[in-house]
Amino acid sequence: MHLTDNGVCWEIARQLTRSGGSVGANIEEAQGVTTKADFAYRMSVALKEARETRFWLRRIQNNKLLKPERLTELIRESEEMVAILTTIVKNARANE
């Protein structure tokens, strides 16, 4: 993915990188927790970050900063990730 080299695009790319990376980091951290409550918390943080990532992808799409064909797939994948994490968090909270 390559955005135009200007301040606005740079900031969007930075935010997208941070939130996207945080999803995986929190899922990884959730794998090593010792309580169900900690697991639910870490996965809920991952869900929050996945939603933020989806927001930044939509912002890129709405402002036509990248070709739509590439973004369509990325947004679809981010929506799948949000759906999966929503189910995990819902089940984890029910089993606390």
Q: Is the dihedral of CA 42, 83, 11, 67 positive or negative?
A: positive
pLDDT at position 2 is 60
85 against 10, higher pLDDT: 85
Q: Please check whether residue 43 is in contact with residue 89, taking contact to mean a CB–CB distance below 8 angstroms.
A: yes
At 28-87, the pLDDT tens digits run 999 999 999 999 999 999 999 999 999 999 999 998 888 888 899 999 999 999 999 999
Q: Please check whether residue 11 is in contact with residue 38, taking contact to mean a CB–CB distance below 8 angstroms.
A: no
Q: What angle do CA 16, 28, 54 make, to 5 degrees?
A: 25
pLDDT at position 65 is 84
Distance CA 21, CA 93 (A): 24
pTM: 0.90
The structural domains of the chain, ordered by start, are 7-94 (1.20.1440.60)
